Amino acid sequence: MGTLLRPVPAAAAAGAASPISIASSSAHAAAAAGRAWSSRHRVSVAAFRSPSPQVLATRWRRRRDTVVRSDVVAGGAAAAAAGDSTQALSDLQVASRVRGVCFYLVTAVAAIFLFVAMVAVHPLVLLFDRYRRRAQHYIAKVWATLTISMFYKLEVEGMENLPPNGSPAVYVANHQSFLDIYTLLTLGRCFKFISKTSIFMFPIIGWAMYLLGVIPLRRMDSRSQLDCLKRCVDLVGKGASVFFFPEGTRSRDGKLGVFKRGAFSVATKTGAPVIPITLIGTGKLMPSGMEGILNSGSVKVIIHRPILGNNAETLCSEARNVIANTLLLHGYGVH
């Protein structure tokens, strides 16, 4: 007998084949997923892998070149700015030196002509006004006014506090510059300055100081200092006024120094009032130790109210406080 074969339906055949197909597809999918995971895994590892030495060297050179170029640009800009400021400073220094030369030329020429006038009237001064010497001081005022009017503006405050020209007084002021004398002579008061003996050796200027009755002083000589104070007391007693810079010398840093009591002992011995005066700006125009230059600017003179007293220490303290407070208000320092 033969074997009976039953035909299998197509759907069944398809159903029988699907497990193999599914298994095969699953295997392919798993393999694809594995490859994808492996690829992703390789990327992430590459991301955290250290760069090769060649790459690092290339990066470092690029960064160094960038920094160097930035430094060169910044350095060039700084050098250009420094060059501009140096050039501007150099121009200012040249201008100040030229102005200083012109200042001395003007004051020398004016002094020659006015010195002749002083010599001409000196015999009459000795006969009729030996101690005050008003004619000589008037000529000195003209000389100082002519000189400074061409180079800086002068403002005077407190002229009402000046005593009459015939009333003796002891004037005191801070000392900043060589210009202080010029500035004070414009006030028109007949006071006798105290000056180093070496200044009297200068032609014309030193001779004019002698005609004005300026009092000579040898700074390091104690006997000369005593003689100077005695002469001041004698002059004030005879109706003349005297002028002191109680600091003793020009301030090197622009700050007010310690006051010496000599001027105030003269005031207490004679009963004369003390007239404090604050000078502002002369030290900026011609700083101490730099007398060869003259900067541009202005000067202000503040005349304070007279101070009376019979104690030299108290007078010294009061006068210094008045001047110090004024300097502080105008931005200056005080020792």
| Alpha helices (H) in the chain, listed in sequence order | 10-48, 53-128, 134-149, 179-185, 205-212, 222-237, 262-270, 282-285, 312-329
Alpha carbon distance 172, 323 (integer Å): 10
What CATH number is given for 87-330 in this structure? 3.40.1130.10
Strand-pairing partners, residue 279, are 301
pLDDT at 28: 46
- Angle at which helix 262-270 crosses helix 222-237, to 10 degrees, equals 30
Residues 6+ apart with CB under 8 A from 290: none
Two structure tokens written together for 334: 């005080």
Alpha carbon distance 66, 60 (integer Å): 10
Residue type at 262 in one-letter notation: G
Cβ atoms of residues 259 and 152 within 8 Å: no
Beta strand pairing status for 298-303 and 153-157?
parallel
Cβ atoms of residues 241 and 191 within 8 Å: yes
pLDDT at 27: 42
Alpha carbon distance, N-terminus to C-terminus of the chain: 143
CA distances from 49 to 34, 35, 52, 271 (A): 22, 20, 9, 98
User: Which SS3 state, helix, strand or coil, does residue 207 take?
Assistant: helix
Q: For Cα atoms 54, 56, 60, give the angle at the middle one, nearest 5 degrees.
A: 120
Alpha carbon distance 83, 199 (integer Å): 41
**Tens of pLDDT, residue by residue, the chain (335 residues):** 444 444 444 443 444 444 434 334 444 444 444 454 444 444 444 444 555 656 555 665 665 555 445 454 455 555 455 555 566 667 778 899 999 999 999 999 999 999 999 999 999 999 999 999 999 999 999 999 999 999 999 999 999 999 988 899 999 999 999 999 999 999 999 999 988 888 888 888 888 999 999 998 887 788 888 999 999 999 999 999 999 999 988 888 889 999 999 999 999 999 999 999 999 999 999 998 898 999 999 999 999 999 999 999 999 999 999 999 999 999 888 87
User: Which SS3 state, helix, strand or coil, does residue 194 take?
Assistant: strand
Alpha carbon distance 34, 38 (integer Å): 6
Cβ atoms of residues 110 and 102 within 8 Å: no
pLDDT at 6: 42
Strand-pairing partners, residue 140, are none
Residue 300 φ then ψ, to 5° = -125, 135
CA atoms within 13 A on the CB side of 137: 24
pLDDT at 16: 41
Reference 299, options 153, 104, 178; nearest CA is 153
Alpha carbon distance 208, 97 (integer Å): 26
Query: Does the pTM of the predicted model rise above 0.75?
Result: no
Residues 6+ apart with CB under 8 A from 173: 180, 184, 243, 245, 276, 277, 278, 279, 323
Alpha carbon distance 101, 124 (integer Å): 35
Q: Around Cβ 196, how many Cβ atoms within 10 Å?
A: 12
